[in-house]
Amino acid sequence: MSIKAVERLCRLQSEELLVEQGLMVDKWTSEFFNGERTFNVDGRWKTNGGVFLVECEAPFGGAPETMTLEITKEKALG
């Protein structure tokens, strides 16, 4: 997989998970970079239930099912 493929898969899988929880996704932003042996994607979904941070990681040359994905709700300021 390429870094762009990891970013695309990260976006699709995280969107599915949020929609399954009854949230309406609005805007996706992401940054991606190469780690020592992995592709890394840090993304954010703006939804009707707040902002969610998404972290994905996949090994170089790995299959799509080797990607890990974590979603956490961004804490409100103040």
What is the pLDDT confidence band of residue 77, given thresholds at 50, 70 and 90? low
Quote the tokens at residue 2.
């390429």
Angle at 9 between CA 42 and CA 18, to 5 degrees: 75
What is the pLDDT confidence band of residue 15, given thresholds at 50, 70 and 90? very high
d(CA 75, CA 72): 9
Can you tell me the mean pLDDT for 39-52? 96
CATH numeric code, 3-73: 3.10.450
Residue type, 28: W
Domain ranges of the chain: 3-73
The mean of the pLDDT values for the chain is 94
pLDDT higher than 90, residue 76 = no
Strand order in the sheet with 50-59: 25-34, 38-47, 50-59, 68-73
pLDDT higher than 80, residue 44 = yes
pLDDT of residue 1: 84
